[in-house]
Amino acid sequence: MTPKKILLLLAVLMLFSCNTSTKNNTTPKNVILLISDGTGLSQISSAFYFKETPSNYQRFQTIGLMKTSSSREDITDSAAGATAFAAGVKSYNGAIGVADDSTMVKNLVEIVSSKNIKTGMIATSSITHATPASFYAHVISRDFEEEIAVQLAESDIDFFAGGGLQFFNNRKDKQNILNTLTSNNFYIDTIGLTTLSSITNSKKAGYLLAKEGMDRISEGRGNFLPKATELGIQFLSKDNQPFFLMSEGSQIDWGGHDNDAPYLVSELIDFDNTIGKVLDFAEQDGNTLVIVTSDHETGGFTLASKKKYSTDGEEYDDYKEIEMTFSTTGHSASLIPVFAYGPGAEEFSGIYDNTAIFDKIMKVTNWE
């Protein structure tokens, strides 16, 4: 070989290795999507004022904003919101995994399971509630939780944890869907979370730990959400296969609907702790894309200044004290923040529609 040819060969080799390394740096192996139902910027801000330890939101470098309207309404609900994330289509409020014309749309779980990618769902609501359901089920109304339970048992989901036991074992049709789960290779637990060692030899694992929604943090739910999320990560990654995990802080939304600030903030802090656990894993792992977002804002929540009265009876705003206020018991239409970390994260900066979450996941992973 002439020196010229050797140089040329070296140049080609360098070009080739550069290409592969760029690809490896931006293509995540795993995706973890954390959804805080009903959480706008004020809810997130509350962690910066009322959480005793630093907020884990602060650990993100890449932040975007998302438009959340559904196909027929300016203000979305959780069903249409999660269907946008899970299938990349705008549908009507109440729709679970169906398009605006009620036809079935392929969801993330169906798309990736055929490629040997493991999937998991975690929620502090029932596991058949609108947000998790949109990732694996197809029904024209979110109210059909008994039908959604059947579809979960027959889905390709590998791991789930949450409430909703009654939709499996106390049904109008008297069927026991726990039997369906067991015959579809699920280890099922209705008592409490276990360690990985008790499920490591099971093909699939499911935890149904409340009749309907899980207890509130204030009622003793403890660290269920961060713990279940860690267990889910361990279980899904145990055979070194890629995985997709969705984990939801469901009850931030419920605190908003109740206009109950202490309820809302305690649920938000629990979700913030879950973000911390997931980022700890992703930092170690280096191959995991973490996306944190919400379907919509709930309550028109505000960190306002407290109204006070001076000694001569004059009203004034005390800027030294926050008063948490609400403007509605429903949802609102404000843009929703998106936080991303890990390979592919840069894709999530900018302002885009909620359906782009699905598109961007598919783009950066090459799963489709």
Select the binding partner of residue 250 from Mg ion, Zn ion, none (C-beta < 5 to 8 A, by kind): Mg ion
- What's the closest the beta carbon of residue 38 comes to Zn ion, in angstroms? 5
Neighbours of 172 (CB within 10 A): 6
Choose one: 34-42, 60-68, 233-241, 346-354; the region binding Mg ion (CB under 5 A). Answer: 34-42
Which CB, 39 or 355, lies closer to Mg ion?
39
Q: At 332, which amino acid appears? A: S
In the complex, minimum distance from the CB of residue 38 to Mg ion, in angstroms, rounded to a whole number: 8
Q: Does 56 bind Mg ion (CB under 5 A)?
A: no
In the bound complex, what is the minimum distance in angstroms from residue 251's beta carbon to Mg ion? Answer: 9
The site partner of 131 among Zn ion, Mg ion, none (C-beta below 5 to 8 Å per kind) is Mg ion
Which amino acid belongs to residue 266?
S
Which residue lies nearest Zn ion, judged by its C-beta?
253
Q: Which does 237 bind (CB under 5 to 8 A by kind): Mg ion, Zn ion, none?
A: none
Q: In what order do the strands lie in the sheet with 204-208?
A: 186-189, 204-208, 159-163, 118-126, 243-249, 30-36, 288-293, 336-341, 62-67, 350-353
CB of 331 to Zn ion, least distance (A): 6
Rule CB under 5 A: say whether 78 interacts with Mg ion: yes
- List 291's β-bridge partners, or say none: 33, 340
Distance (Å, whole) CA 359 – CA 201:
34
Burial letters 249-286, b for 16+ CB under 10 A, else e:
bbbbbbbbbebbbebbbbbbbbbbbbbbbbbebbeebe
Comparing CB distances to Zn ion, the nearer of 37 and 110 is: 37
Please give the residues from 241 up to 280 whose contact with Zn ion meets the rule CB under 5 A: 253
Q: Is residue 93 a contact partner of residue 133, using CB atoms and an 8 Å limit?
A: no
| Residue 250 is a binding residue for Mg ion (CB under 5 A) | yes
Q: How many residues bind Mg ion, per CB under 5 A?
A: 4
Binding site for Zn ion (CB under 5 A): 253
Binding site for Mg ion (CB under 5 A): 37, 78, 131, 250
